[in-house]
């Protein structure tokens, strides 16, 4: 039923206005100070007659104008007071008519007010629906005692304080409160606080954003109020309590919702000022971190996967029990935002169903997954304190070498009356004596002695050029998948500062990865001329290991070295050799398990490369992912392919093989200068 409030100090005038309007049963009559309106049905139209000094009418608008912003207000005043009424009621959207009014004009104004459609449009309905669904997924197992009061329409202007870590859903909670407990015509405005050093800077940012909106009411969401300087927070306290400075915005009503870190987080500087806390915390909520909701993680992952698959038109895929155990053990420093990011990236990376641990894509800590695989039993907690980090050891060269390594290095170990058999690791046969070491060149990808010299249309292995192109494509495609996934989410989550931070970090990280791959390729082919110099390989390998020292210490790797310091030199281009072995060491350290060991050795020989002296370098380690040893993975290994290309172009040989024990063995022979 439509409701009309007719308000005037004089009962006779109220009766006259009732007859003019032709109002029915939904009409409520009373004076400006009449208590009947405190409990009356919310109005569709308010007909307010102005008289006297306007004080009672101003008080009436002050009490009810903000409570019923969707009502149509009609102010009736004498022609001589028309200018004063417009000035004094400047913040109220109202139709001003002369009193006594023309009955036809009055009825027309009432009809216009009654015809206002207050039905929510489809776009708003869709937004509210999506917001509600996401809120139920993230918060259905969380108790928020103050949420009900925050959604109460009577408290739609009461400030709210939401505490919690980044990524826990503070912004989502603020939007939910606005959408389901705020005013229908109010705008939700996010005010970033980073970089704000003064109250003038904060006010300028609020005013600039307010100029982009049309509504006369708004909810201001301060993302990180506790990151503002203390003096700015105290000025903000005055704004929350007494309103923004006049003329700074066009808003007639405001609601403040502020986000801050947990009360127990004493590392956040400067922290939330006590005075501001008192003003904001009329309604206060604490959102728990994801690590405190450990038992709900599998359910959250399954629901996130279902939503992602539905959005992208896929049948719902699932994560295997092993993957769920792995994900449940992860500490989730980025909380729910990071969880949904990992789920989305993983599903975009692989079409597997169910998703196995090898398909998981963590945004910035790939070594975490490497460490877990093969070491963590299902349901084993990862919250125990890690073992103290040890410095990596360099054992004595005389005691490290084992018999099979000695065989590979070309020096069989003789036992009394017997000769040790060669190990099962296949090693490429040496070049025939009549073969000549090729001149260094990068004009093409040179074949080794055992490879075909002409293209064979029936060959099962791709050519060096095709393998290099495939590896570059793989190195570029992986980060592009992540960027594409996040860019698809960007339009709907752009207002979320935590998502923008994640997106920025992801793009920067993945673009740097693409740039590094392209730059390596470009630097290799743009060398003006390949130098042929004597290079100390023992010194080069020691230097490269020092560059990885932090990673080696952090992951507790054991580096076993046996480098030939007596005849350590090879003939080749120093920059190309550095690039090749730097890539190989990076590849090796990424593939070995945490706490594992890497054996690296070098040995000079006077007759290994045909009749020419050479230096053999051996790398041997156990891989953490057996899948990395399959042929397809080797064809996508940019570091390995570029190293092989460089070494072969410098006249050397490159052999990569595996053993039954999931070990990787790399044997490299390089031309060496003759020894005296």
Nearest to 202 by CA among 223, 177, 171, 173: 223
Rama region for 660: left / alpha / beta (φ>0; ψ in -120 to 50; rest): alpha
* pLDDT over 90 percentage in the chain: 13
Q: What is the pLDDT of residue 307?
A: 92
Under 8 Å between Cβ of 232 and 198: yes
* pLDDT over 70 percentage in the chain: 71
Tens digits of residue pLDDT in 493-513? 767 777 777 777 777 777 777
Tokens of 351: 């079409």
The strand pairing partners of 47, in sequence order, are: 6, 74
Q: Is 217 helix (H, G, I), strand (E, B) or coil?
A: strand
Q: Which is more confident, 137 or 525? A: 137
Under 8 Å between Cβ of 114 and 72: yes
State yes or no: pLDDT of 287 exceeds 80. Answer: yes
| pLDDT mean over 322-339 | 88
State yes or no: pLDDT of 23 exceeds 70. Answer: no
Burial bucket for residue 103 (CB in 10 Å: 0-12, 13-18, 19+):
middle
Instruction: Give the lowest-confidence range in 5-14, 18-27, 203-212, 531-540.
Output: 18-27
Q: What is the pLDDT of residue 611?
A: 62
> In the CATH hierarchy, which top-level class contains the domain 127-288?
alpha beta
State yes or no: pLDDT of 416 exceeds 80. Answer: no
Instruction: Please give the sequence-ordered ranges of beta strands (E in DSSP) within 427-564, or none if there are none.
Output: 533-536, 558-562
State yes or no: pLDDT of 302 exceeds 90. Answer: yes
Nearest to 477 by CA among 504, 513, 522: 513
Edge-to-edge strand ranges of the sheet holding 283-286: 187-191, 217-222, 253-260, 160-163, 283-286
Please give the C-alpha separations between residue 113 and each of 14, 44, 94, 101, 492, in angstroms, as whole numbers.
19, 7, 10, 16, 34
| pLDDT mean over 639-655 | 83
Tokens of 675: 């020894």
Q: Are strands 72-77 and 45-49 parallel, antiparallel or unpaired?
A: parallel
State yes or no: pLDDT of 581 exceeds 80. Answer: yes
Nearest to 343 by CA among 357, 361, 330: 361
Instruction: Cite the DSSP H helix spans in 292-390.
Output: 297-311, 321-329, 335-349, 366-372
With bands split at pLDDT 50, 70 and 90, how would you rate the model's confidence at 428?
very low
CA angle, residues 463, 535, 590, in degrees to nearest 5: 55
Residues 6+ apart with CB under 8 A from 125: none
Could you tell me the end-to-end alpha-carbon distance of the chain, in angstroms, rounded to an integer?
109
Q: What is the pLDDT of residue 31?
A: 92
Q: Domains of the chain: which residue ranges?
A: 4-115, 127-288, 292-372, 395-442+528-676, 464-526
What dotted CATH number matches 292-372?
Answer: 1.10.8.60
| pLDDT mean over 272-298 | 89
Domain 395-442+528-676 of CATH type 3.40.50.2300: no
* Rounded distance between C-alpha atoms, residue 335 and residue 362, angstroms: 13
Q: What is the pLDDT of residue 624?
A: 72
Q: Chain-wide mean pLDDT for the chain?
A: 76
Q: What is the pLDDT of residue 625?
A: 62
* Rounded distance between C-alpha atoms, residue 510 and residue 512, angstroms: 5
Under 8 Å between Cβ of 167 and 256: no
Instruction: Give the lowest-confidence range in 210-219, 512-521, 599-608.
Output: 512-521
Domain 464-526 of CATH type 1.10.287: yes
Tens digits of residue pLDDT in 357-373? 888 887 655 455 555 54
Instruction: Give the lowest-confidence range in 165-179, 469-483, 626-640.
Output: 626-640
| pLDDT mean over 135-145 | 86
Tokens of 640: 């390995």
Q: What is the pLDDT of residue 300?
A: 93
Tens digits of residue pLDDT in 77-133? 998 888 888 888 877 778 889 888 888 888 888 887 766 545 555 666 677 788 888
Give the best-scoring range by mean pLDDT among 58-67, 219-228, 407-416, 457-466. Answer: 219-228
Give the best-scoring range by mean pLDDT among 445-459, 518-532, 536-550, 640-654. Answer: 536-550
4-115 and 127-288 have identical folds: yes
Q: Is 140 helix (H, G, I), strand (E, B) or coil?
A: coil
Nearest to 310 by CA among 172, 134, 170, 480: 134
State yes or no: pLDDT of 295 exceeds 50. Answer: yes
* Rounded distance between C-alpha atoms, residue 166 and residue 392, angstroms: 36
Q: What is the pLDDT of residue 69?
A: 65
| pLDDT mean over 244-254 | 83
**What's the chain's length in residues?**
676
* CATH domain 4-115 topology: Rossmann fold (3.40.50)
Reduced 3-state DSSP string for 165-189? CCCCCHHHHHHHHHHHHCCCCCEEE
State yes or no: pLDDT of 8 exceeds 90. Answer: yes
Residues 6+ apart with CB under 8 A from 170: 162, 163, 164, 259, 287
């Amino acid at each position: 039923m439509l409701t009309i409030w007719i308000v005037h100090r004089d009962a006779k005038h109220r009766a006259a206005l009732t007859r003019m309007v032709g109002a029915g049963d939904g009409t409520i009559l009373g004076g400006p100070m009449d208590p009947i309106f405190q409990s009356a049905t919310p109005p569709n139209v308010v007909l307010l007659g102005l008289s006297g000094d306007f004080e009672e009418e101003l008080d009436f608008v002050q009490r009810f104008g903000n409570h019923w912003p969707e009502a149509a207000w009609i102010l009736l005043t004498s022609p001589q007071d028309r200018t004063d009424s417009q000035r004094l009621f400047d913040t109220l959207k109202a139709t001003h008519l002369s009193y006594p009014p023309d009955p036809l004009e009055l009825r027309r104004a009432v009809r216009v007010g009654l015809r206002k459609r207050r039905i929510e449009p489809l776009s708003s309905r869709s937004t509210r629906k999506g917001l509600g669904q996401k809120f139920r997924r993230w918060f259905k197992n969380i108790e928020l005692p103050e949420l009900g009061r925050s959604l109460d329409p009577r408290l739609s202007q009461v400030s709210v304080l939401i505490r919690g870590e980044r990524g826990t859903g503070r912004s989502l909670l603020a939007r939910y409160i606005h959408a389901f407990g705020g005013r229908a015509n109010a705008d939700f405005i996010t005010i970033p606080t980073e970089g704000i050093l003064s109250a003038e800077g904060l006010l300028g940012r609020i005013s600039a954003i307010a100029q982009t909106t049309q509504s006369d009411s708004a909810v201001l969401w301060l993302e990180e109020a506790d990151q503002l300087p203390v003096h700015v927070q105290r000025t903000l306290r005055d704004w929350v309590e007494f309103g923004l400075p006049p003329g700074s915005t066009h808003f007639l009503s405001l609601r403040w919702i502020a986000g801050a870190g947990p009360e127990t987080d004493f590392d956040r500087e400067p922290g939330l000022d006590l005075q501001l806390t008192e003003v904001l915390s009329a309604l206060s909520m604490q959102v728990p971190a994801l690590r405190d909701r450990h038992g709900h993680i599998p359910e959250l992952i399954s629901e996130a996967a279902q939503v992602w698959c539905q959005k992208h038109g896929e049948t719902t895929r699932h994560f295997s029990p092993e993957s769920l155990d792995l994900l449940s053990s992860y500490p989730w420093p980025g909380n729910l935002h990071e969880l949904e990011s990992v789920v989305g990236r993983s599903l975009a990376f692989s079409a597997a169903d169910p998703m196995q641990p090898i398909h998981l894509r963590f945004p910035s800590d790939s070594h975490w997954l490497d460490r877990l695989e093969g070491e963590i039993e299902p349901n084993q907690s990862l919250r125990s304190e890690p073992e103290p980090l040890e410095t990596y050891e360099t054992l004595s060269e005389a005691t490290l070498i084992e018999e099979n390594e000695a065989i590979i290095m070309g020096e069989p170990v003789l036992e009394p009356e017997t000769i040790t058999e060669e190990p099962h690791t296949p090693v490429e046969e040496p070049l025939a004596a009549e073969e000549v070491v090729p001149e260094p060149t990068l004009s093409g990808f040179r074949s080794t002695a055992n490879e075909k010299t002409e293209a064979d249309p029936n060959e099962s292995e791709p050519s060096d050029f095709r393998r290099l192109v495939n590896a570059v494509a793989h190195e570029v495609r992986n980060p592009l998948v992540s960027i594409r996934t996040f860019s698809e989410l960007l339009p709907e989550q752009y207002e979320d500062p935590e998502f923008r931070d994640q997106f920025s970090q992801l793009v920067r990280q993945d673009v740097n990865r693409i740039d590094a791959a392209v730059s390596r390729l470009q630097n290799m082919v743009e060398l003006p001329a390949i130098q042929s110099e004597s290079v100390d390989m023992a010194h080069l390998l020691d230097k490269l290991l020092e560059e990885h020292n932090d990673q080696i210490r952090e992951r507790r790797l054991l580096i076993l070295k046996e480098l030939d310091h007596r005849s350590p030199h090879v003939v080749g281009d120093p920059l190309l050799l550095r690039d090749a072995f730097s890539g190989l060491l990076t590849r090796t350290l990424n593939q070995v398990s945490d706490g594992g060991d890497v054996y690296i050795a070098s040995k000079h020989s006077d007759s290994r490369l045909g009749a020419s002296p050479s230096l053999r370098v051996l790398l041997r380690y156990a891989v953490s992912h057996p899948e990395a040893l399959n042929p397809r993975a080797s064809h996508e290994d940019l570091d390995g392919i570029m190293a092989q290309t460089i070494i072969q172009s410098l006249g050397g040989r490159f052999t990569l093989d595996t053993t039954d024990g999931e070990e990787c063995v790399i044997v490299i022979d390089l031309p060496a200068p003759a020894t005296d």
